[in-house]
Structure 1
């Protein structure tokens, strides 16, 4: 069936459009017959061989495009046209192509085509050619960089193994030193400082070469040395991931060492708050500048000094500020605000105020379900910025550990997409208070006693101890130790105040100093044990005295004390004595004694002649 003129015109138009389209692609495309003579080619092929289109048609392709493999000219039987016909399919191979003084590496894809519209069948080969010289050069550079990076990582890994051996040896030496000189706290502290300095030096030595590895990978990923394909990009991501993981391992070793060192006794001294905050900012300023984050410091006027380990608390502030900056997007805000606050949860005259450090940011925020995970070691919270800034999750656990070592607390408020506020509260001494803050609540005119309530500062479930002591130094030493052991403390400065507070608050145990003004401790014990104060008759009392004269123990026990300890008191011995007296069995026995006493007195009040024969 013959085609009509309109159909031929439409066919010519379609072929013209296809030729224009194929001529616009970057790949050089050529169509040959079975003998390798060129039937058609696009303009990219013209440019590749450097000849005009009209001079190419009908020429043999091997003469226009001589190919080399490993420096040897490809023979006719191995030429892409012959290989495609032999395989009757698609065949791809990279060759060298020399054009004048310049050489290129080209990828040749030859495709077997069988045209069945005519008789006999026509066999053709369509060849697509791409210049991959730059890709090969980039691949070579990437391979070389990968080999060098792997070699560096291997060297650093070996150094880490040696470092681990040295750390284990250092730890062994520290343990041995502790066993040999158990009472030498000064020497142990010195060894710990040496370990911290050693770890700091190793941190610098390990991070410096790792910075080069990660920097080179970043430059390659940003196409600084030329374009890369997807396979090369994947390889670079592997290098970056491995380097980042190595950095995390280094950080883990150092952070774990910090937590371990935080378990030893802290070195406290009077610390000026403004100086503490100002000295913390330089450690995070560069981090904030890189992200163009506004960093603000707000300190309330006339703040008292804090009795803390300055180095440890500075470490806490740096961790919180660094964390806030890390999870705050560019051009955000981070502030550190310091204020003096009253704490209604404390009812003693020794500590009634606290200094609060609030680190506020405009970061990504934390969801309510993730709040409980915040201070768990090695736990990370998922989030968009968190995935870009990886870590091991030890920072906030370290903050919590250090703050609690100072008898402080850590709290957090946050809203997703708005920001977070981490607040640490450290107890502030208020030695100017001359009487307990509950002084005006001691007596109820109608009932003669005051029961503990949720508003008077006593937390439910924790044992309450009354310490009767007129020496501020002894009071501070004993109370801090016992608070760390989980006890709540009430205070009295003489015997009469001890009696009044005992009647009002009914503590679980009384620590009574014997030598005090007004009413001494021995007389106070006798008054508390008298029958006219039945609600106090079975409260355990431990007598404390610095006199330790012959017969003192017997006089204290006879007056009604349950135990007697001489000063200077070993705090561990005091805590064990309190624990034994407040054991569940002892408490149960005192309950039955008190119950029996109340029952007896009730029967006596109902029948005055009950005990008269």
Structure 2
């Protein structure tokens, strides 16, 4: 007894084929067509992103791609330029694509139709895709034979079973390949965990030694350096955790933790980790944090990781000039949420426009052609994923040879806590002269002075400062870049400054870089030393001390 066919007609079979192929192949368009030698009829079609083929359409066979598929497989990489397809009306309507078509042939040699696919121009179909589509074309021919020749039902059923077995074997192969990929991913994950463990052991030793050194007698400069070692060690430990979290992000398992935090303190701490490195490279780090940023909720660990990565890159790729870190509240902020823009701008080597799109791809290092800059090529990818995970966006702009700006914007919930004020009555109305040859550093100090109601005068030359003092201009405090008076050639200038400072009793605050060795004679006539990048709270404390202290001329370094 002949059993009932699984498919009631050819159209149902075509639907099954397009469904199967659309789930197995990732191409844009798959369709099944029949023809009578003159007219081509689209039985079923699947379009993923762009609608190229519509079901039910009938066109003259000679005006279609299917007309090229008669006895063998036809593959065309660019329909817009191929001589057989460039002038067809269908090409004018759909544009340039890659095309592959398989004939559906009956046992008597006649052509029933085609199984075809369209994808992006130049796309090369893999062996597995070709085999799969070939199998589906054969499968359709069997279904047609079943409808046309019921007397050959048993024979055709055997063929269908054989085809089904082929598909099953293919699915088994795909399943095995997936298992192998999963094993490889697991191996990489285990390797990363082992490496993390091996790095943690010596790092824990460093942290333990720091903890043992902290209670011992240390001078202020040593204690400052030890504090940087401690923070750097803890930051590296967090970075190890974040590298392990990368796999969670890929799997969609990473969560955002919300906690109260002080944004200015977070930015300052992240920046200060690179102060010593910047000094070694003879570049300046400049902080500019908007005043009155409220207390916010956010994932501090992720924000810190993004900042550290961006600042590290800026310092790495900058040979001269400065790195400028900013944090500002955007105007569109409301009563419940605050949009904050973090920016890291450098004067480094910059990036070609053609390479900007590659920056956030996995394992891409656009500056590592000669192996000069080391890295994993994962840092910016992790930054982008973390920013997007927190609902933000990351932006990059760059000019080759002039520098780059990396910025990210986060919208964070606001807390009702009031923002602690930095305004102090003792500073209001005071006259301060700042001498620094870095325009951005002057701008930041000028911004702080304005916030604190200090009357500020500024210059980038020592000679101008001396001229003002000799002319009798009065100042309550002078802030002086240490490098302008640090060399032996400037001994005479230092003596002039000291004489004028003693004559008028003006306290001097020196600006220096973290870890810089200072001439002891400079400390004898300076009230305080503030390290760059200038932190708001450190500078305020130094100013208050300089304006109120009457017992000594020196104070510990900030």
Common fold by TM > 0.5: no
Give the structure-1-normalised TM-score: 0.29
Instruction: Tell which structure's C-alpha radius of gyration is larger.
Output: 1
Give the structure-2-normalised TM-score: 0.32
Higher relative contact order (CA 8 A, sep 6+): 2
